[in-house]
Amino acid sequence: MDKNTFTGLFLIMIILGVGVFLMKPNEAEIKKEKLTVHQDSIKKGLIKTPAKADTVAKTVAVDSAAMKGPFGAAINGTEQFVTLENADVRIKLSTKGGRIYSAELKKYLTYGKKPLVLFDGDKNTFGLALTASGKNYNTNDLYFKPSNTSLTVAGKDSSTVTMRLSYSPTQYIDYVYNLKGTGFKLGLTIRPTGMDQVLANSNVYSLNWNASLNKLEKDIKQERQYSTVYYRNMDGDVDYLSEAKDDQKSIGDKKMQWVAFKQHFFSSVLIAKDGITRSDLGVVTNVADTALVKEMKAGLQLTRDASGAVPLEFYFGPNQFNTLKEQGYDLQKIINLGWGPLKYINQFAVLPVFNFLKQFNWNYGLIILALTVLLKLVLSPLTYKSYLSMAKMRVIKPEMDEIKAKVGEDNPTLLQQEYLKLYKKAGVNPLGGCLPLLLQMPIVIAFFRFFPSLFELRGQNFLWMHDLSTYDDVIKFSTNIPIIGNHISAMCLLMTISTLIYTYFNNQISGATGQMKYIGYITPFIFFATLNSYPAGLNYYYFLANMFTFLQQYLIKFMVDDKKIHAQIQENKKKPEDPKKKKSGFAAKMEEMMRQQQQVQTKKK
């Protein structure tokens, strides 16, 4: 890299930084944009505006004639609550709509140490769209009557509550909820009785499920980054809506198995055992609301089974890989472990090692330490080859300088040809130092997705870090600073410093000079700006990786003798070239390219 290129890159970085700062909207513009987005979402139907209390009261009073029509006894009533709970969850059911009013996970707390409630109140709906006697109804607005029973199933205590929506004494729809003594699953069977002659289409039920998910973690921006609607079809394929922006999708060509309202570390999943014939899914973010992560909706079409019922299951629980896998239906695929090969590296290599180390009941900071040591040991042959290749390049550098002085810098094509001849005679691969590093890159990038998705780190402390699943903001600012935000993460700062130190010693090993000697110092600051708001556990791993790489190179230094390398290179140069030895495809292409460029330059002269 020449001086002009380096100067250009440096100026581009300055321009980008200044541009971000100068083009940052003021508070008035931000509020105006938030209001516009919110109003657009309301128009699209992604956000429903709650009816005012006085309007509801007038509607009930004026529409008293409806009390004598279909579902007349269920139109008006008083909302009551029934609680189902076991060792893991507490489910509150409402007689209005017969729906789940709130879902609380008893063994977990929010980041603020409050009870962890996934959703609650009137900000969520769950209702069937019915047509009876030419009129449209939604069970979410009708009143059910509860009945409680207790029974024993498969040797485990289980609680059952039936919510009944009456059309007449012999015609009704039951919501039968069943909760076992342990676990995160809640059974729901929708069972109609005598409704075949009443409903317009009694075999297909349209279910509308909407939920506004409560803020549970420290940073709502990070929580939104990992929250969206996931879904799986009957063939086992899992997909999801956009995590970065409002999104919606209609699926009618394939049956769905389940739909999940996924947050960063917890999920609400609706499983249809017999499948969902049509799904209309949507996710929207109301950026003006700092108490709700996102609003998610699912319009689903369900069909009855042979017994005339619609069997469903809910999962309200953590996004922990092993826990989700135990539930069946490939629920573990809710956890995004990366794309392509990164996903397989995390799932089949990193995760099993992590689970093995977890059995020792160590602090998670020590587990990350042990994971880093094991990884560095496995990759140590690649590290050795990379160091050895850089040492060879360092040894032949004086000869490269002589060639440069002889040929001159005004003919770069000829200069590269002479370099290639030297590499070939000396038996040196100029890419030998890069290839081992490139082979390690997929693992480094895989961790970038692994640690932010790792539920086990949530709430776990180590040293000064109170929660390894989020950033450790030891320095806070009263306002947002361009690029870095409103805080500085201590572990991210340490990671950046360690990268700078590693870059310095790496330059000593490789013998880098000129502008290349300084270009490596820009990258750590880019990492700092990117990772400052990422989990402390991720930055802790990168810090350890830098330190162990430096230690490995320090130890390898005693195993590699520059004098012996130089002697071996001189021996290689004395050996006659084997005419039968086939050139590699890369070397042949490089020589042909150099030859063509040399011909072009000769013609120009």
Residue 51 has what pLDDT? 34
Domain range spanning residue 593?
576-604
Mean per-residue pLDDT for 263-274?
A: 94
Domain assignment present for residue 17? The answer is no
What DSSP element (H or E) covers 382? helix 364-395
Do the bridges between strand 310-318 and strand 473-481 make them parallel or antiparallel, or are there none, so unpaired? unpaired
Mean per-residue pLDDT for 508-518?
A: 61
Residue pair 457/451 in contact (Cβ under 8 Å)? The answer is yes
Per-residue pLDDT reduced to its tens digit, 423-469: 777 767 766 656 666 777 788 788 888 999 999 999 999 999 999 99
Mean per-residue pLDDT for 106-127?
A: 91
Supply angle C-alpha 48, 54, 56, rounded to 5: 55
559 lies in the same domain as 596: no
What whole-number distance in Å separates Cα of residue 572 and Cα of residue 421?
12
Instruction: Pick 526 or 432 by higher pLDDT.
Output: 526
451 lies in the same domain as 511: yes
Supply angle C-alpha 147, 149, 150, rounded to 5: 160
- Domain finish residue from 281, 306, 336: 336
Residue-wise burial string across 241-272, b where 16 or more C-beta atoms lie within 10 A, e elsewhere: bebeebbbeebeebbbbbbbbbbbbbbbbbbb
Residue 46 has what pLDDT? 47
- Domain finish residue from 296, 317, 336: 336
Q: C-alpha dihedral over 38, 43, 44, 47, to 10 degrees?
A: 50
383 lies in the same domain as 497: yes
Domain assignment present for residue 11? The answer is no
Residue pair 451/491 in contact (Cβ under 8 Å)? The answer is no
404 lies in the same domain as 487: yes
Per-residue pLDDT reduced to its tens digit, 305-322: 888 899 999 999 999 999
Domain assignment present for residue 582? The answer is yes
Q: With a cut of 70, say whether residue 579 has pLDDT above it.
A: no
Pure H helices in 396-484: 397-407, 412-426, 435-450
Instruction: Pick 229 or 157 by higher pLDDT.
Output: 229
Give the chain's domain count. Answer: 3
292 lies in the same domain as 383: no
- Domain finish residue from 336, 356, 377: 336
Residue 293 has what pLDDT? 93
Domain assignment present for residue 179? The answer is yes
455 lies in the same domain as 400: yes
538 lies in the same domain as 503: yes
Domain assignment present for residue 3? The answer is no
Least confident span in 188-192, 251-255, 386-390, 585-589: 585-589
Model's pTM, two decimal places? 0.77
Domain assignment present for residue 316? The answer is yes
Q: With a cut of 90, say whether residue 530 has pLDDT above it.
A: no
CATH number at residue 279: 2.70.98.90
Per-residue pLDDT reduced to its tens digit, 478-489: 888 887 888 899
331 lies in the same domain as 398: no
Side chain identity at residue 549, one-letter code: T
The DSSP-derived string for 306-329 is: TTS-EEEEEEEEE--HHHHHHTST
Burial class (CB in 10 A: 0-12, 13-18, 19+), 368: buried
303 lies in the same domain as 439: no
Under the banding of pLDDT at 50, 70 and 90, the label for residue 91 is: very high
Considering the chain, what percentage of its residues have pLDDT values greater than 90?
40
Per-residue pLDDT reduced to its tens digit, 193-228: 988 888 877 788 899 999 999 999 999 999 999 999
Residue pair 460/469 in contact (Cβ under 8 Å)? The answer is yes
Per-residue pLDDT reduced to its tens digit, 358-402: 999 999 999 999 999 998 888 888 777 777 777 777 777 777 777
Mean per-residue pLDDT for 512-519?
A: 62
Domain assignment present for residue 7? The answer is no
245 lies in the same domain as 385: no
203 lies in the same domain as 349: no
Residue pair 428/72 in contact (Cβ under 8 Å)? The answer is no
What whole-number distance in Å separates Cα of residue 105 and Cα of residue 87?
9
Q: With a cut of 60, say whether residue 30 has pLDDT above it.
A: no
Domain assignment present for residue 443? The answer is yes
297 lies in the same domain as 365: no
